[in-house]
Structure 1
Amino acid sequence: MRDLALIFVMALGAALGIGLAGALALRLLRHRSITVHVCVLLAVTVTAVVAGVVTVAQAMFLSRHDLQVVLLTVAAAAAVSLAIGWYFGRRLAAAAIWADQARERERRIEKGRRDLVAWVSHDLRTPLAGLRAMAEALEDRVVDDPTTVAEYHRRIRVQTDRMTRLVDDLFELSRINAGALRLSLTAVPLGEVVSDALAGAAPLAAARRIRLVAAESGWPTVLASEPELARVVGNLLLNAVRYTPDDGTVRVDAGREQDDAWLAVADTCGGIPEEDLPRLFDVAFRGEPARTPRSGTNGEGSGGLGLAIVRGLVEAHDGRVDVQNTTEGCRFVVRLPAATG
């Protein structure tokens, strides 16, 4: 019994020495990754066992051969334990990082939903208040001269069109997020889509003396759904026109690189703050403190949904969209699969 107690004390002392050294190492490495912590913890455990076995084996005066057998057995078990611990430590670290990123993404999406509800409520409440006031004025015959009545009718139509566009954007975004978007992919000449989009943006650009410049040739054919592609190009053009100062320029060009086609829309807005670039395609992000449409845009704000819809539609085509600052403004680049043949 006394010998067993002595063996226990010797093994405990060796293990405690290794444990203290491991605790110090973990403290020094407290800012390192989860993989490092798991590997150090496992190494401390295995080393403590090895130290205890070696200490006891030497105290038992084993023969050289028997001692080598014990050490080889312990070394084999230690190697297997360390290898398995390193492998699962990396998997645990990857899972922890993925879970943290998922939680951060969920928080960002939830914040985007709350902001979207608040901003869309504001964008709907403002025109609705105006519509109600004008309708009551017409109903009570507060205004009755033909010129004012006609102006009220025009304003009602403009505000109704604005709310219709906002509701259409919400419906499109809900289809994208719900995965209910069904694309009918065909070979679409990009030049024709851009030409139609330029015609749609021309009145707003002309009112602010903004030049719309498009390349004369080099337009590729892309594999896309034409209505959704037209929505992408139209949103990018209108976004560029809205945020370009008067007398500015919006330029559109395109090309092809191997199996991909690209479309670029560049403006002279003066650039976007670098910290805003990663969030530019987030739902309801507008990049400015004011939540009302900028002056000079004829109230055609999109509730911060235009670029989010662009990204959703482009990704649904297995493409991608990026933005970068240029000398005079910013440049949006859409890459889509090119049509073959």
Structure 2
Amino acid sequence: MRDLILIALYALGAGTLVGLIGELSLRLLRRRSIILHICVMLTVTVASVVAGIAAVAQAMFLSAHDLQVVLITVLASAAVSLAVGTTFGRRLAAASVWSVQARERERQMEASRRELVAWVSHDLRTPLAGLRAMAEALEDKVVNDQETVSEYHHRIRVETDRMSQLVDDLFELSRINAGALQLTLSRVSLADVVSDAMATTAPLAARRGVTVTAHAGDWPVIMAGEKEITRVVANLLVNSVRYTPPHGTVQIDAAVQAGEAWLAVADTCGGIPETDLTRVFDVAFRGERARTPQPQEDTFGGGLGLAIVRGLVEAHGGQVRVDNTSVGCRFEVRMPLAPAAGRDGTRRSPPIGPAEPTRTSIPSGSVLHQ
């Protein structure tokens, strides 16, 4: 019985000494990664067992050969235990980090959904109240002069267009978030897409006094859904035109790099605050907390355009980002090239000519002067 007590004391003493060293190490490493903490804990656990066995074996006055056999066996078992424990520890740490990130993302998405519902309700309630007031005024003959009646009809159309676009954006965003977006991929020339987007944005740019330019040279041909990529380019272009002050410029560039196509829309808006750069693609983010629509007719939308851009681009397996420049900001979209699109995956932009009078094509160095 006395021998057993001594063995227990030897093992307890050796394990306690290793445990104290391990606790001190964990205190010094408390600001390090969780993986390092798990590795240290495993090392301390195995080392305490090895130290206890080694102390007991030494106290038992084993022969040199027997002591060597015991130590080799224990060290081999310790090495296997550490290898297995470290592998599963890394997996556990990764799963723990992923779980925390998933919960945080879910919390952010839920907060974003609640915020979106509140903001959309406001964006719908405001024009609806105005429509009702104008409709009642027309119905009750409160206004009867032709100029005012015409203005009321104009405002009703404007507010109706505003709500229609908001509903369309919500529908598109719901399809993206629900995974119900079905893409019909085909070879799409960015020259044609940008040409259509410039023609569509021309009236808005004219009202705001903004010059829209397209680069000279080759335009990539990508594999994408034509309708979806057209909306991506149009949303980016409209967003840049809206936030560019009068007499500013919006430049569209595209090229092939590292086996993929990129398209960039750069403006002279003055830049985006650094704190907002990571939020510009969030749902309903407008860069300001006020939700009251501005009195211009070109302020349609509920802050969903860039969120739709990100969703559509990622659905194609691409990426979108935004960076500040010295005079404004630059949105860049990267998309996969179309197979067998030529030696460099590009296409020369067609010149303007009488053969296609309904399409505004992009000639070399074309400019929309407003």
Evaluate the alpha carbon distance shift between residue 51 and residue 292 of structure 1 in structure 2; reply closer, same or farther with a 3 A threshold. Answer: same
Deviations 1:216-253 (A, max 9, x none): 54222222211111111111111011101112111222
Within 2, Cα distance between the matches of 1:293 and 1:219? Answer: 37
**Alignment match, 2:100:** 100
Q: Does the residue aligned with 2:246 lie in a helix, a strand or coil? A: coil
**Do the aligned residues in 2 keep the contact of 1:293 with 1:299 (CA within 8 Å)?**
no
Aligned length: 340
Q: Runs of 5+ in structure 2 lacking a partner?
A: 342-370
Equivalent residues in 2 for 1:170-181 (5 A)? 170-181=170-181
Return the structure number with greater helix share.
1
Amino acid at match of 2:76: A
Give unpaired runs (5+ residues) of structure 1.
none
Determine if the alignment matches structure 1 residue 168 to structure 2 residue 179: no
Change (3 A) 1:17 1:175: same
**Retained in 1: the 8 A contact 2:242–2:298?**
no
Q: How does 1:75-224 map to 2 (within 5 A)?
A: 75-224=75-224
What are the superposed Cα offsets for residues 268-317 of structure 1, whole Å, 9 maximum, x if unpaired? 1001112211221111111223223456x425232110001011111112
Query: What's the counterpart of residue 27 of structure 1?
Result: 27
Q: Distance in 2 between matches of 1:64 and 1:305?
A: 77
Q: Which amino acid aligns with 1:21?
A: I
Letter aligned with residue 70 of structure 1: V
Corresponding residue number in structure 2 for 1:242: 242
Higher relative contact order (CA 8 A, sep 6+): 2
**SS of residue in 1 equivalent to 2:49:** helix
Q: TM-score scaled to structure 1, two decimals?
A: 0.95
Q: Distance in 1 between matches of 2:316 and 2:126?
A: 35
Q: Secondary structure at the match of 2:44?
A: helix
| CA distances 1:77-104 after superposition (whole Å, capped 9, x unpaired) | 1111111121112111111111121122
Q: Give the C-alpha shift of residue 212 in structure 1.
A: 1.5
Q: CA deviation at 1:338?
A: 2.2
Query: For the residues of structure 1 that align with 2:102 and 2:19, how far apart are their CA atoms?
Result: 35
Provide the C-alpha distance between the structure 1 equivalents of 2:43 and 2:215, rounded to a whole number of angstroms.
64
Instruction: For 1:93 and 1:110, locate their aligned partners in 2 and report how far apart those are by CA, in whole Å.
Output: 26
- How far is the alpha carbon of 1:256 from its aligned partner? 2.3
Q: Quote the RMSD (CA, aligned, Å).
A: 1.6
The CA deviation string for residues 108-154 of structure 1, in whole angstroms up to 9 with x for no partner, is 21121111111111111110110011011011110112221111111
* Percent identical residues: 68
Which residues of 2 match residues 271-310 of structure 1 at below 5 A? 271-294=271-294, 297-298=296-297, 300-310=299-309
Q: C-alpha separation between the residues in 1 aligned to 2:294 and 2:151?
A: 22
